[in-house]
Structure 1
Amino acid sequence: MKKITCFFTLFILLFTSCSTSDDDNIEESENEILGKWFYVAESYDEQQITHPENCFTQQYYEFFSNGSVSVKLYSEPCEDGENYTGDYAISGNTLEITGLQGSDDLNYSFSIVTLNNTTLIIEDEVSIDGVNETYRLELNKE
C-alpha cells in the first residue's frame, strides 16, 4: 500500500510541477523585451514607408525591468530628437504603452507579432482619413 501511495503522490507532483501556464509565457516575454530596440522598418498595410534621412534608424524604444519605457523619436530633417517616457505592460500577445509624457500622454496598444532576443515586430490598427489600416513596426535589439 505504501508503494501505491508513494507512486500516486509522485505521479501527481510530476504532472502538476511540469505544467506551463500563460503567466510563464508573459514573464518570458517581459524578460525578452528588456533593452533598447532600434527602428528597422515601418509600414501601413504592407506598404513600406521610406525615410530620406538616416535618423529613422536612430529612433528607439527602451524597455526597463521596472515597467517603464523610454522612446526617442526624430523628425525630418534629423535634429536632436525628442524623448518620451511612459509605462508598459505585456498581457498575452498585447503590448500596452501608457502615459507617454511629452506626447500629450498618449496610450498605445500593439499586437506583438514577433518577440525574440533580436527582433520585435508590433502592429496596430489605425484609422487614417477614415480608412482602417494596419501599422507595422519592426525593431532590432541593440
Structure 2
Amino acid sequence: MFTLRQYPKFTHLLKTAAQLGLLVLIWWMGALIQRKFNLPISAGVIGLLLLTAALLSGLFKLQWIKQGSDLILAELVLFFVPIVVGLIKYKALFLTQGWQLIVAVVLGTVCVMVCTAYCVFFGFKLESKFKNHKKPQDASNHKIVHGK
C-alpha cells in the first residue's frame, strides 16, 4: 500500500509546494485589494501586510508557510537575474546616468538598514516590556510559612 510516510522527500516537496501556493494566494489577494481600491502600493506589499496581520492575530501559524518562505529566501538571488540582463541591455544609459542609480540604491539601502535597526530595537524593547510585565510579583509580597 502506498503511504506518504514511505517517501519523506515527496512529502517535503508536497508540503513546500502547498506553502508556496498559500503564499501566492496571499499575494493574489493583495493584487485584488490593490485593483479594487486602486491603491498606489504594490500587491506584494499589501500581501505582506495581510500575512503579517494573519500571523500576529494567530489566524495563520508560522509552520504553515515556513518551508515555502525558506525556499523563496534561499533562492532570492535568482530574482535579481533580470536586473543584470537589464543592465547589459541598457549599458549606454547606465554609463551616462548610472551614478544616479548607484546613489539611489546606496541611499535606499542605508534607509532600509536604519529603519530595520530601529524596528528591531523597538521590537526587543517591547518584548522586554511584555516579559517584565508578565513576571509574578516578587517574593517579598508573599507570606512565607516556616516550619518548626
TM-score, normalized by the shorter chain, greater than 0.5? no
Higher helix share: 2
Higher RCO (CA 8 Å, separation ≥ 6 residues): 1
Q: Give the TM-score, by structure 2 length.
A: 0.25
